[in-house]
A and B are shown apart, each in its own frame.
Chain A
Amino acid sequence: MPDNFEKLFSQLPSPDLPEGLFGVVLAKIAARKKARIKLHFAIFALTSVISLAALVPALTAVSRGFSNSGFMEFLSLTFSDFLIVSVYWQNYVLSLLEALPVLETAIFLAVLLSLIESLRLTIRDLKIFHKLKLI
């Protein structure tokens, strides 16, 4: 079909843009942004509190694990009998690894990382929220 519809469509009345629509759109986005930041803030703040609370038992468990496994005694040999350690270093490293309380250490590190990351995100959200409030 020959396309003289382009000419016809150019006559289609285009509605006038309501005054202030741009501002209303920006305000709506800002409101959703605030709601999103609030939600994120709540989630990260809660995670921070939980991580902080979990850090104490994790720390207790890891220190108990180190003292029960004899890891610190093995480690102290490095300072007291360095010569022997350097001769039998392969066996020494293996013993150190065997004595390492892996599970407790992993849990402790995970809790610590979670605390650091959630604190970082909480602070970031606080900054954004503060900035949005000022606008």
Chain B
Amino acid sequence: MLEIISDEQLIKNYLKGDDQSLEILIKRYLRPVYGFVCHLVRDQAAAEDVTQDVFAKMWQNLNQFKRDKNFKPWLYMIARNTALDWLKKKKSLPLSAFEDEAGNNLLAETLADTAPLADEILARQDAGELLESALSRLPLNYQTVLLLYYTQQLNFREIAELLKEPIDTVKSRQRRALFALKKLLEEK
């Protein structure tokens, strides 16, 4: 049942008065959205609050959701913005290992590494934790692109749509993010 009906159809049904469709929609996205938010805010209790807000905002704005658009990028846009708002409120927007205090990226322009990720990193027992720690040192916009692309399986077009940026910008940001991530992983 969860997989058969499309998101857009569920929204249509909900707006026609079927409350169960909203529950199915929330059930479908609760875990991935919570995971995404958790990685951004790095605080499980806060992630719970932010996730609640994400779905409450989603509900509040369902009437304005354009039916010809994809629901998934729209929902992740809300999740990203809500997480950013929380980080701003906490004044804990992470300063990345590659940014100076003025927010200039010191690394992006100097990177020209095209080698694949070393196998020993992939083979490490603690690869997951290593990745998590390296991710946390990246600028937030790099983290967002990587998390959306690799953990939420959004494609470049969808990420560009939710970030309201050209697709080429997103592609090059993903590339730069990977270079930066690789550099951090190799430092460990």
Contacts and interface: CB of A to CB of B under 8 A. Distances in A.
Interface of A: 1-2, 4-9, 11-15, 17-18, 21-22, 24-26, 28-29, 32-33
Interface string B112-125: 01111100011000
Given A18-B44, A25-B30, A11 B116 contact: no
Contacts of B22: 29
Given A18-B44, A25-B52, A8 B59 contact: no
Given A1-B116, A4-B116, A5-B178, A11 B30 contact: no
Contacts of A11: 127-128, 131
B138 interface: no
Nearest to A15: B38
- Secondary structure at the B interface, as helix, strand, loop or mixed, is helix
B60 interface: yes
B34 A17 contact: yes
Interface residues of B, number: 40
A14 B32 CA distance: 9
Contacts of A7: 122
B94 interface: no
B56 A29 contact: yes
B132 A8 contact: no
Nearest to A32: B56
A29 B59 contact: yes
B26 A22 contact: yes
B159 interface: no
Contacts of B114: 1
Interchain residue pairs A-B with the least CB separation, the first 3: A9-B150, A2-B116, A11-B128
A32 B59 contact: yes
A21 B23 CA distance: 12
Contacts of A24: 48, 52
Contacts of B115: 1
B21 interface: no
A1 B127 CA distance: 19
Contacts of B59: 29, 32-33
A56 B132 CA distance: 70
B117 A5 contact: yes
Contacts of B72: none
Interface string B6-40: 00000000000000001100110011001100110
